[in-house]
Amino acid sequence: MNFKQTLLATTLAAGLAGCATNGDPSDPLEPLNRGIHSFNESVDKAVIKPVAQGYDTVVPGFAKTGVRNFFSNLNDVTVLANDILQLKLEHSASDFLRLSINSTFGFFGLLDIATEMGLRKRNEDFGQTLGYWGVGTGPYLVLPFLGPSTFRDTLGYVVDTEYTDLVRLHEHVPTRNPTLALRVVSRRADLLEAKEAVDQAALDGYEFMRDFYLERRKSLIHDGKPPEEKF
């Protein structure tokens, strides 16, 4: 069973477990989710955070920026694909130009020239595409190692991974796996200060992460203009 099959199986099992759970309708899998959240926090504390701190200390600032830009440029392939699926023609044209400029004049994305030209970075994925076309979020779900998600976003993640994630799609394993590890470490290093602030301020880290994730996803699906809730 490969990674994507395992992820879908985990999601299905969580859904079956949730059928017998009575609780907050926004988070019917809370007991399971809290357990996975605690596991992820332990892994982060023991492995990922120390590695990210070492990376942040040792690697020069310009190199960290180049790594960040490189992965952001690869992600623009996913962004562009989902622009098209959402029929956002203006965004598609802009993101195609951004990807083309940074991939060529930006030396495969190491330099973010497009942003300086006014072609800003956007955030789109297949989970957002499903939401854009009216698919509901489904239950909130914390995934092992990956963190906050929902049933809809888990499906979206699998589709993006299968078709548009150029790192995971790379068939040369000795190149792919270290590159995946570098992406994880780079992203975690960028969040060191923010995560520390959350840990110090939040009374319940699990609830904070859940509420922040769900509100952010709602905002992204509606391009920063989510509909007002009716009471």
Residue 143 pairs with which residues in a beta bridge?
A: 147
- Residue 20 has what pLDDT? 42
Report pLDDT for 38: 97
Contact predicate 105/69, CB 8 Å: no
Burial class of 200 by CB neighbour count within 10 A (0 to 12, 13 to 18, 19+): exposed
- Please answer whether residues 4 and 169 qualify as being in contact, where contact means their C-beta atoms are separated by less than 8 angstroms: no
Enumerate the domain spans of the chain: 1-6+26-57+135-223, 59-124
Please tell me the distance from the alpha carbon of residue 53 to that of residue 88, in angstroms, as a whole number: 39
DSSP state of 142: E
Structure tokens at 146: 């990956």
Half-sphere exposure of 231 (CA within 13 A, CB side): 0
Positive or negative CA dihedral for 16, 36, 31, 220? negative
Q: 118: helix, coil or strand?
A: coil
Q: Per-residue pLDDT tens for 186-217?
A: 999 999 999 999 988 878 999 999 999 999 99
- Amino acid 21: pLDDT: 47
Q: If DSSP codes are grouped into helix, strand and coil, which group holds residue 106?
A: coil
Instruction: Specify the pTM.
Output: 0.87
Beta bridge partners of 142: 148
Rounded-to-integer distance, Cα 54 and Cα 42, Å: 18
The proportion of the chain whose per-residue pLDDT surpasses 90, expressed as a percent, equals 82
Band the pLDDT of 229: cuts 50, 70, 90. Answer: low
Sign of CA dihedral 170, 172, 175, 178: positive
Q: Which of 22, 120, 103, 109 is nearest to 71 (CA)?
A: 109
What's the one-letter identity of residue 180?
Answer: L
15, pLDDT greater than 90: no
In the predicted model, what is the mean pLDDT of residues 181-189?
98
Residues 73-131 pLDDT 10s: 999 999 999 999 999 999 999 999 999 999 999 999 999 999 999 999 999 999 999 99
